[in-house]
Structure 1
Amino acid sequence: MRLIRPPGVYAPQADSALLMDCLAREELGPGDRALDLCTGTGVVALAAARVGADVTAIDISRAAVAAARFNARFHGARIRIKRGDLAAPVAGERFDVVTVNPPYVPSASSRAPTRGRGRSWDAGRDGRLLLDRICRLIPSILAPHGVLLIVQSSLAGVGASLLALRREGLLPARVVARRREPFGPVMTARAGWFEERGLVAPGTRSEELVVIRTVRAGAAGAKAGTTPRPVVRPAGG
């Protein structure tokens, strides 16, 4: 897929592809509301729009929002694109599917950068600055029976994400896809620091990317005579 990507906007990589593979297995189509957080170039939002979903995409970066808008127009996709911090621009709205490819790379700084290339991947010393916020946010934006798909690295605590989502009252989260990938330039440059922190074994120069899936339980006390929206299930599941 041809995409414009200004400097500082995350280039779709193996994590984007893994997330889109999982999205393709969901029963997503016309009438479903999809939200793509940390959209970057909008590549995952475009995948949702191709199957007819009503798509909203959000990024905090002005450059990313401009890129996503251009890419949506270029591909003839109708996507509502907003700039803001996670789901703040759609407060009060609910979505049937939420996809997220957040920054998750552990970095020496405990704070997330506010500008520059590192804004696309740096996420604090444990890689969880955005992941923990997203886990807390998800129950407020998922519709009953709605699905979350989030991709992250094994270096950022997969177990911590599974536990955090369960604490928020969602149905048990599980890893639905895995892919081992060699370190790219950023990770390679930090490999020694990762070893010192105990994030990887000595000599390790690869990470496991995972997609975590969870579902929000249906609303209790639905009105008589109404039909609940079916859970969006992976095809063949």
Structure 2
Amino acid sequence: MVTVTGARPYAQPFLVTPPGVYAPQSDTQLLLAALEQERTGPDTSVLDIGTGSGALAVRAAQLGCEVTAVDITLRAVVTARLNALLHRRRITAHRSDLTSAVATRAYDLVLCNPPYVPAPGVPLRGASRAWDAGVDGRAVIDRLCTGVPSVLRRGGVLLIVHSGLCDAGATLDRLGRAGLDAGVSSRVRIPLGPVLRSRLLWLRERRLMCAEDTSEELVVIRAERP
């Protein structure tokens, strides 16, 4: 497992991120670093779930992979396509609720930076849909743990990043019960961002954070289908 003391800023140039589309941040950078550790090439089929700006999809295409990107919002799908064009890379992008639009295929590598921030409710629309994920932060993660194994080839790998606030152990347990060999491959602590700072009182009331907490742990979970 790699422990990172600080996340480097995302440096890929010319990424368009219009309002309402999740812009690359520390979690993106951590997942990109995990992607770089995988063996990839022209024979690698990649699925990027919740692609947002397409940052991960574009990088996978730069590594020579065949890339499919999905997002539940049309704006993100269009943005990912545009960023691929700007980088002169080819990706296939679909509007999809997780794997629903691509469930007939199997992939060598699945990437996902899902909504994972604990929140009083699950938003139905708006920018916060990219990060808010219910009172325990697992509204989307639990669905991923159930659905992703069916689109992984044998020997295929899932890389998923999320906050330590939403229980990495629960993710490992769910992926294990789904038949995957899962573990934490890297972790990083970052200063609290504006979203978490805005709901500190609520997080403390739920005992998800302590009064002295000034940072958040992010983890990358790597799960392989035997």
Is TM (by shorter chain) over 0.5?
yes
- The aligned amino acid for 1:39 is T
TM score, norm. by length of structure 1:
0.89
After superposition, the C-alpha distances for 1:7-42 in whole angstroms (9 at most, x for unaligned) are 111110000000000000100111110000000000
Partner SS state of residue 102, structure 1? coil
Q: Matched residue of 1:129: which SS? A: coil
CA deviations 1:106-128 (Å, max 9, x no partner) are 0011xx32211111100000000
Does 2:223 match 1:198? Answer: no
Tell me the matched-pair count: 214
Question: So what's the TM-score if we normalise by structure 2?
Answer: 0.93
- Structure 1 position 64, deviation (Å): 0.6
Structure 2 SS opposite 1:26 = coil
Identity across matched positions, percent: 50
Aligned with residue 105 of structure 2, among 77, 93, 100: 93
Query: Residue 161 of structure 2: which of 151, 155, 174 is its match?
Result: 151
* Partner in structure 2 of residue 108 of structure 1: 120
- Indicate the residue corresponding to 1:41 in structure 2: 53
In structure 2, the residue matched to 1:214 is 223
Instruction: Read off the aligned partner of 1:86 and give its amino acid letter.
Output: L
The answer to whether residue 19 in structure 2 is matched with residue 10 in structure 1 is no
Indicate if the aligned counterparts of 1:147 and 1:214 stay in contact, CA closer than 8 A. Answer: yes
Unaligned runs of 5+ in 1: 218-237
In the TM superposition, residue 205 of structure 1 has moved relative to its aligned partner by: 2.2
- Structure 1 residue 71, shift from structure 2 partner: 0.4
**Residue type of the partner of 2:89?**
A
Between Structure 1 and Structure 2, whose CA radius of gyration is higher? Answer: 1
Contact 1:191 1:205 in 2 (8 A): no
SS at match of 1:90: coil
Deviation at residue 51 of structure 1 after TM alignment? 1.0
State how 1:59-70 maps to structure 2 within 5 Å: 59-70=71-82
Residue in 2 that maps onto 1:23 = 35
Helix, strand or coil at the partner of 1:88: coil
> 2-side partners of 1:142 and 1:100: how far apart?
13
Distance 1:10 1:187 in 2: 16
How far is 1:203 from its partner?
Answer: 2.3
Q: 2:21 is paired with a residue of what secondary structure?
A: coil
Q: Provide the C-alpha distance between the structure 2 equivalents of 1:14 and 1:138, rounded to a whole number of angstroms.
A: 23
| Residue 62 of structure 2 corresponds to residue 78 of structure 1 | no
Question: How much does 1:43 deviate?
Answer: 0.1
